[in-house]
C-alpha cells in the first residue's frame, strides 16, 4: 500500500529541510518533489509554518522512538543504557543523511520567542532529557535530573561537533566524559 499524500509531503519536506534548511526550501519544491500540486499541499497544511511544525512533530516521534529502541536493544540495564546513548548517536552520525539536529536548525532559523515551532523543538529536547533522567534514576544516580541535564549537554555538543567535523568521533569523546559523570553520580549516591 502506498503512502498517503500527507505522509509523502511530510517525508519529502523532512528530507529537504534536513539537507537544506527550512527557509531555503519553498512549498513549490516540496509539492513538486512529492508529486502533488500546491493545492494538495495547502489542503493538508494551511501554511508553510504549519507544514514545518508537522514535519518537526513527525520527525520527533520517529527519531526519538527509533533512538530509544536502539539504546534499549544494545543494553539491558539503565546503567549500560546511559553509555549506549552515545553508541547510538555514533551510528546516527555515520548515516549518509546526517546533517545535524533538525531542531537546533529550526531554532536557528526561527528565532522569535514562544512560537509553535520553537515550542515543538523545546518539547522534543525535554522528552529526550526525560528519557535520560529515567535511565539515570534506574542507574541509581544521586541526582538523576542533574545527570540527565549533563548527559543531554554532552549529547548536544557531540551532535554539533559531528556536524561541524563530519565525523562520528565526537560520540566517543562524549561517551568517555559521560562515564566520568555517571561514575561520580553513582558514587555520591552510595
- The domain of 26 spans 1-46
The total number of structural domains in the chain stands at 2
The model's pLDDT over 81-109, given as tens digits with 9 standing for 90+, comes to 999 999 999 999 999 999 999 999 999 99
Task: Look up the CATH number of the domain holding residue 39.
Answer: 1.10.10.60
Same-domain pairing of 116 and 154: yes
How many of the other CB atoms lie within 10 Å of CB of 182? 21
Cell numbers at 94, concatenated: 555515520
Q: What are phi and psi of 77, to 5 degrees?
A: -110, 155
d(C-alpha 178, C-alpha 116), whole Å: 32
Q: Are residues 122 and 34 in the same domain?
A: no
What pLDDT, on the 0 to 100 scale, is given for residue 189?
Answer: 60
| CATH code of the domain containing 104 | 1.10.357.10
Same domain flag for 3 and 91: no
pLDDT of residue 190: 58
Q: What is the Cα–Cα distance from 50 to 24, expressed in whole angstroms?
A: 16
- If pLDDT is split at 50, 70 and 90, which confidence band does 172 have? very high
Give the pLDDT score at 129: 97
**Cβ contacts of 95 within 8 Å, gap of 6 or more:** none
Model pTM score: 0.92
Confidence of residue 127 (pLDDT cuts 50, 70, 90): very high
Give the model's confidence band at 168: pLDDT under 50 very low, under 70 low, under 90 confident, else very high.
confident
Percentage of the chain beyond pLDDT 90 is: 93
Are residue 183 and residue 89 in the same domain, yes or no? yes
Pair (3, 95) in one structural domain: no
On whether both 38 and 63 belong to a single domain, the answer is no
Q: Show the CA angle centred on residue 109, arms to residues 106 and 114, nearest 5°.
A: 70
Of 82, 85, 91, nearest to 180 by C-alpha is 82
149 with 74, same domain: the answer is: yes
Amino acid at each position: 500500500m502506498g503512502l498517503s499524500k500527507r505522509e509523502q509531503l511530510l517525508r519529502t519536506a523532512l528530507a529537504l529541510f534536513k539537507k537544506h534548511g527550512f527557509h531555503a526550501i519553498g512549498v513549490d519544491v516540496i509539492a513538486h518533489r512529492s508529486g502533488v500540486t500546491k493545492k494538495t499541499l495547502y489542503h493538508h497544511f494551511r501554511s508553510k509554518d504549519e507544514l514545518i511544525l508537522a514535519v518537526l512533530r513527525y520527525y520527533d516521534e520517529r527519531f526519538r522512538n527509533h533512538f530509544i529502541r536502539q539504546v534499549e536493544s544494545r543494553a539491558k540495564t539503565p546503567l549500560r543504557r546511559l553509555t549506549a546513548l552515545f553508541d547510538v548517536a555514533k551510528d546516527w552520525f555515520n548515516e549518509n543523511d546526517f546533517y545535524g539536529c533538525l531542531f537546533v536548525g529550526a531554532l536557528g532559523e526561527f528565532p522569535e520567542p514562544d512560537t509553535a515551532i520553537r515550542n515543538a523543538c523545546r518539547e522534543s529536547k525535554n522528552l529526550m532529557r526525560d528519557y535520560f533522567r529515567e535511565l539515570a534514576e534506574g542507574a541509581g544516580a544521586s541526582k538523576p535530573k542533574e545527570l540527565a541535564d549533563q548527559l543531554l549537554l554532552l549529547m548536544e555538543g557531540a551532535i554539533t561537533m559531528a556536524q561541524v567535523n563530519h565525523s562520528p568521533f565526537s560520540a566517543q569523546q562524549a561517551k568517555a566524559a559521560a562515564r566520568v559523570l555517571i561514575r561520580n553520580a553513582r558514587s555520591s549516591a552510595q
